[in-house]
Amino acid sequence: MKSQAVRYLGAALLAGSMISPITAYASTAANTSITNTVTVNFDDAAGNAQTAVTASVSFSVNLVASAPILSAPADVDPATESTLYNQVYTVTATANGNDTYNITNASVNTNMDGDPAFGGDASIVLGGSTTAAAITAGATTFTVPFDGTDDSEVNLIAVGDTIVLDPTGTAEVATVTAIDESTGAANNTATITVGSALANSFAAGLIIGEQGTATITVTTDTVTTPPTGTHNVTVTYTSVADAGVTADDSVLYTVYRSALTVTKFVRNDSNPNGTGTSTSFNGQTYYDSGVNGNPGDTMEYLVVVENPAGYGDAQNIVVSDPVPQFTTYVASSVQMDVDGGGLVGYADTADNGDAVETDGSTIYVYAGVGGDDTAAGLGNGTGGTLAGGETASVLFQVTID
């Protein structure tokens, strides 16, 4: 780009009408070429005006690396073990030109067996420029310094890009719809058109930064001692132009281990008895052993599925329970209570949309919240979910042959 700051010596004149002067700002865009032309007018000894002589010198504006602005994803709580998370970071350039930012990842782990595995983008390239003149609110076009190459983009800002005007100040976001560099050689500026009228006014010399996204994948490791551990993941963006210029942000992953316990009890509904460890449920006493019965007695089983407090959600919980030898299943006797919500009875029919199905020899209960037997085929239903601290209690009956 060719931008001039013209100084006059004596009766100095602008050398050539093709190049107009443009002020050099504190935030002049990188790759701007600034030319200074001096003109000397003089007379000969007889007082006759002579052809003026000129001399020019040019220099280009360097990229001044600047840390990008990061918008990190929210902390992940709950996270689960050995799970891949796609994390999208919004990155806004604040430099006076285009730069590449290398992406590195690190984790501080608490109660985890190892580091998470990282993947995704290794770098992001963002364009940048500056305002060449003041912009009035309502404008859809504005000028920026010409970068010296007529290639329909300015310091890698191209049509379709999202840009942020004055990213460390007003930070107005716009979408580039056109770039005109046809007057670049003559005026040392290019024109950018955006999709919507700008809501704010901007002074000359302010940064225009491209905004992009980078996706980082984080695969959690396993918890050392249940129920939880954490990965505190820091993602750092480092300027290729100046490795001392960095930006980073951290996301905390609170990782939960899922763990279910299951216990089973029985009671004689026809002739209550038992000598083992007992538990009360729904006003009845059940035992883990020491229960007996006569042929024809009705025996009621209690199956307790518990997700301990502090653990992660347990999903797709499927309880399968074969009917014991020398007994006959009591039709439509299955009931389930999810976390104290009250017993609900279920039909035995397969694939009817409720949470139970059986062929009389094996009982399938899709325990927890949201379980159902809709999928075709016995035992192919979708199990429900129990959060940490929740319990599903299942009852069913058989008679002794």
Q: Delimit the domains of the chain by residue range.
A: 64-256, 261-400
Across 15-19, 231-235, 357-361, the highest mean pLDDT is recorded for: 231-235
- What band does 185 get if pLDDT is binned at 50, 70 and 90? confident
Alpha-carbon span 250 to 15, nearest angstrom: 55
Average pLDDT score over the chain: 92
Query: What is the spatial distance between Cα 89 and Cα 233, in angstroms, rounded to a whole number?
Result: 13
Give the Cα separation of 130 and 343 in Å (integer). 68
**Statement: the pTM of the whole predicted model exceeds 0.75:** yes
Could you tell me which residues are beta bridge partners of residue 253? 76, 231
Overall CATH class of domain 64-256:
mainly beta
Look-up of token digits 């059940």:
286
Give the tens place of pLDDT for each residue, 348-361. 999 999 999 999 99
Q: Are both 64-256 and 261-400 of the same fold?
A: yes
The pLDDT score that the predictor gives to residue 23 is: 40
Q: With a cut of 80, say whether residue 20 has pLDDT above it.
A: no
1 pLDDT band, cuts 50/70/90, is very low
CATH code of the domain occupying 261-400: 2.60.40
19 pLDDT band (50/70/90 cuts)? very low
Q: What's the pLDDT tens digit per position in 36-81?
A: 999 999 999 999 999 999 999 989 999 999 999 999 999 999 999 9
